[in-house]
Each structure stands twice: as C-alpha cells, then as structure tokens.
Amino acid sequence: MSGHSKWANIKRKKEVTDAKKGKIFSKMSRLISVAARNGADSDSNAPLRIAVEKAKEARMPKENIDKAIAKGSGQGGGESYSEVIYEGFGPGGEAFYILALTDNKNRTVAEIRNIFSKAGGSLGGAGSTAYIFNPDPENPSYSMEIDDKHYASKLESLLEELDDHDDVQEVYVNFVLPEEE
C-alpha cells in the first residue's frame, strides 16, 4: 500500500511553505537591515518602523527582526546591503521599475539582465523608465492595456520571475493585464 504515508504528504507541503516563508523573511531582513543604518530605534527612524511593521505582517519572528536590526546598525557584522534601482523594458516596450537590495551589484544586474533577455525584453539605463514612475511608482504617468492573453501570460511570467528573485523588493510596471474570466 504505497502513497498512504501521512508524514510524507505533510513533509512535502511543509517544505513548500517553509521555502516561501524563508524567501519572504530574507527580503524583510534585508529591508530592515538597510533601514536600520540610520538608527536602531524604530521610534525615531520611520523607514525602520515601516519595515518592522511589514515583517510583523509577514509573521516574521521577533528574534529574526532583532538580528536584522543589529546587522543593519553595525552590531551584527556580516555583509552590507545597498539599495539599487533597475529599469527595463518588456518585449513590447512595457516599462519596468525594479527596487532591489543587494550585497553584490554586479551579480544582481547580470541576473536581472538575464531574466529580461530570456523573456525578450531588455534592461534599460538609469532614467530610461523613471520618468514614467515618478513621483509615485504605484501610479505610473501612463499605462498600457494588454489585450492578447498569450502575450499577457508571457508578461506575467516575466513579472513573477523578477519578483521571485531574492534581491528584488518591489517591481512596478506600467501595463494592465486582462482580467481572468
């Protein structure tokens, strides 16, 4: 009687959820570390307070939050992260504005460029899409409507692959995908 081991089924599901949690916790830890550079006190450091609130919403353990604050404020040692912005274009000229935290800019830019090139897009230079997303990246100055479902799925997979990258914190786009029916 194969396939009836309850622990094997639980273990597979747990591995998947733990991997997702770990990825989210790593991103939150980097965000907290960068915000903690300006001071370890969340009362006087607004970006740190916001980062800690985001981490608590993601159910990150308090010990992990404290370690990230210590690392960012210089007490914990380890690598230092820097904030970088990447701008790129999708296969049809759609604008992408990517915020990332990385410990190695050269590695990250190569990986982001590779993701774009596999999808038929390209990584742009500094300022190539920033004018579309300033001052509020969540509300671009103009949007593109995507009607073709096949093309929309291609863009959605590019967006997911960028968002799944460990160093990427936020991805902003200027296109609207069709609603699922």
Domain boundary, last residue among 14, 39, 72: 72
Residue 141 above 80 pLDDT?
A: yes
What pLDDT, on the 0 to 100 scale, is given for residue 76?
A: 61
The region, left, alpha or beta by phi > 0 then psi within -120 to 50, assigned to residue 65 is alpha
87 and 154 both lie in a single domain? yes
CATH number of the structural domain spanning residue 15 = 1.10.10.200
pLDDT digit string (tens) for 76-85? 666 677 889 9
50 and 90 both lie in a single domain? no
> By residue range, what is the domain housing residue 20?
6-72
CA distance 59 to 78: 24
Q: How many domains does one find in the chain?
A: 2
Nearest to 163 by CA among 98, 103, 70: 98
63 and 103 both lie in a single domain? no
Is 151 inside any structural domain? yes
Domain boundary, last residue among 22, 49, 72: 72
41 and 88 both lie in a single domain? no
129 and 149 both lie in a single domain? yes
pLDDT digit string (tens) for 54-107? 999 999 999 999 988 888 877 766 667 788 999 999 998 899 999 998 888 999
47 and 100 both lie in a single domain? no
In this structure, are residues 88 and 123 in contact, taking their beta carbons and an 8 Å threshold? yes
Is 98 inside any structural domain? yes
54 and 129 both lie in a single domain? no
What's the whole-number average pLDDT of the chain? 87
87 and 148 both lie in a single domain? yes
pLDDT digit string (tens) for 110-134? 999 999 999 999 999 988 999 998 8
CA distance 86 to 108: 10
What pLDDT, on the 0 to 100 scale, is given for residue 164?
A: 87
101 and 156 both lie in a single domain? yes
What pLDDT, on the 0 to 100 scale, is given for residue 158?
A: 92
Is 1 inside any structural domain? no
Proportion of the chain above pLDDT 90, given as a percent: 35
CATH number of the structural domain spanning residue 139 = 3.30.70.980
Given pLDDT bands bounded at 50, 70 and 90, which one contains residue 137?
confident
What pLDDT, on the 0 to 100 scale, is given for residue 70?
A: 86
Sign of the CA dihedral 130, 134, 136, 139? negative
64 and 86 both lie in a single domain? no
What pLDDT, on the 0 to 100 scale, is given for residue 120?
A: 92
51 and 99 both lie in a single domain? no
Is 77 inside any structural domain? no
13 and 58 both lie in a single domain? yes
Domain boundary, last residue among 20, 41, 72: 72
